[in-house]
């Protein structure tokens, strides 16, 4: 997010800003809005109908957004005894989990680059260089993300102990 673009003086503005940021990262704005609302809502668990009402969205767009966020592991379904409707909430450790997803994405891109390098003839140096860069960036990320997770865990533990 560019400096100075966030103006969240209300919960609604925060939700909209998160939606725009999520969209700029390749997701859908609605998924970002759902994620934003679930981050700040009280109670933390919300039904699809509640999400649709507060976000002025259709049930279909809420369904698509929650399905996407469930697949990413950022939210989870919660069943409340006596209620028919499923509720959604931010999954515990959601943002830490997102870093695990990044590790898997880096691994996948590295492996794809290796396939490409194996398929290209040696006499294609320019083509191979583009793939080599793809490989090297993702091999680096794949090796560094776990260290970053360890540093985060230590930082978080120290912060909680303070």
* pLDDT, tens digit, 9 for 90 and up, residues 56-66: 999 999 999 99
pLDDT band per the 50, 70, 90 thresholds, residue 9: confident
pTM of the prediction? Answer: 0.82
pLDDT in tens, 53-112: 999 999 999 999 999 999 999 999 999 899 999 999 999 999 999 888 899 999 999 999
How big is the chain by its Cα radius of gyration, in Å?
Answer: 20
Q: Which residue has the tokens 């509720």?
A: 87
CA 129 to chain centre: 30
Collect all residues with Cβ–Cβ distance below 8 Å to 93 and sequence separation of at least 6.
none
Return residue ranges of the chain for CATH 1.10.10.10.
11-90
Going by the DSSP 8-state scheme, the letter that residue 85 receives in this structure is S
Fold classified for 11-90: Arc Repressor Mutant, subunit A (1.10.10)
Given pLDDT bands bounded at 50, 70 and 90, which one contains residue 2?
very low
Q: How far apart are CA 101 and CA 13, in angstroms?
A: 28
Residue 8, pLDDT score: 58
| Domain 94-161 CATH (choose: 1.10.3210, 1.10.287, 1.10.30, 2.30.30) | 1.10.287
User: Where do you find CATH 1.10.287 in the chain?
Assistant: 94-161
Beta bridge partners of residue 75, listed in sequence order: 90
DSSP state of 90: E
Structure tokens at 159: 């912060």
In this structure, what token pair is assigned to residue 56? 């002025």
């Amino acid at each position: 997010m560019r400096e100075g673009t966030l103006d969240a003086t209300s919960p609604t503005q925060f939700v909209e800003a998160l939606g725009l940021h999520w969209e700029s990262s390749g997701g859908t704005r609605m998924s970002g809005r759902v994620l934003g609302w679930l981050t700040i809502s009280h109670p933390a668990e919300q039904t699809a109908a509640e999400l649709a009402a507060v976000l002025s969205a259709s049930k279909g767009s809420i369904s698509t957004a929650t399905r996407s966020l469930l697949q990413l592991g950022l939210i989870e379904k919660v069943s409340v005894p006596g209620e028919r409707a499923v509720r959604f909430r931010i999954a515990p450790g959601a943002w830490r989990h997102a870093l695990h997803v990044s590790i898997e994405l880096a691994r996948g891109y590295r492996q794809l680059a290796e396939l490409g390098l194996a398929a290209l003839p040696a006499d294609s140096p320019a083509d191979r260089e583009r793939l080599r860069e793809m490989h090297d960036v993702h091999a680096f990320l794949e090796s560094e993300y776990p260290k970053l997770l360890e540093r985060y865990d230590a930082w978080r533990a120290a912060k909680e102990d303070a």
